Amino acid sequence: MSHTNLPDSKALSAAIEMEEMGFSFFKDSAAQAKDSFAKEVFEFLAGEELNHIKAIEKFHEDYMKGQSADPKDLIDGMANSAARSAISQLFEKLSQNRPIGGTELDVYKFAMDFERKGENFYKKAESEAIDPNAKKLYGFLVGEERRHFKIVESCLAYFENPAEFFHQREKWHFEG
């Protein structure tokens, strides 16, 4: 049985296209970044988008054949702890010196908007999904887009006000 005309097929195709746009955006942003931290963040996010593309393509391919398998393995592959620790290491390398230039600010703002739109897309796809396994995949991708938004939001906070960024990360405490 083919699922070519079901809403999930269209949503999966749109998801692949959206992730490809994200990959291109972050890859191009990394290539143009003057600040090494921004470059690393954009490269990290491009890699995340590439992982999403591969997973969604695999799920879509199986779905089109009428095989709606549980996406647990795909989700586990995208949610590996190595990727999560990589971004933590980037933030640990920051110094309290403001980076030279600030040209990445507009890119960060655009990236936040892009990730927010991605999250909204996946929320809608999840609520309209017919296939329960597609619903699971979309739900996971909602969380991924939200996580990417938070990463970019933290980067923007750092570039706009490094002192406040470190203040928030250190969570001031009182000694008695």
DSSP 67: -
* CB proximity list for 168: less than 8 A, separation 6 or greater: 157
Domains of the chain in start order, with CATH, are 7-169 (1.20.1260.10)
| 35 vs 32: CA distance, rounded Å | 9
| 100 vs 92: CA distance, rounded Å | 19
DSSP 71: T
pLDDT > 70? residue 10: yes
Percent of the chain with pLDDT over 70: 72
Average of per-residue pLDDT across 80-92: 55
**pTM of structure:** 0.75
Confirm if 8 and 130 have CB atoms less than 8 A apart: yes
Nearest to 41 by CA among 97, 96, 101, 83: 83
Can you list the alpha helix ranges (DSSP code H) found in the chain? 7-32, 36-64, 72-78, 81-92, 104-128, 132-160, 162-170
Residue 161 has what pLDDT?
Answer: 80
Residue 96 dihedral angles phi and psi, to the nearest 5°: -85, 5
Confirm if 78 and 52 have CB atoms less than 8 A apart: yes
pLDDT > 70? residue 128: yes
Residue 2 has what pLDDT?
Answer: 42
DSSP 96: S
| 161 vs 35: CA distance, rounded Å | 15
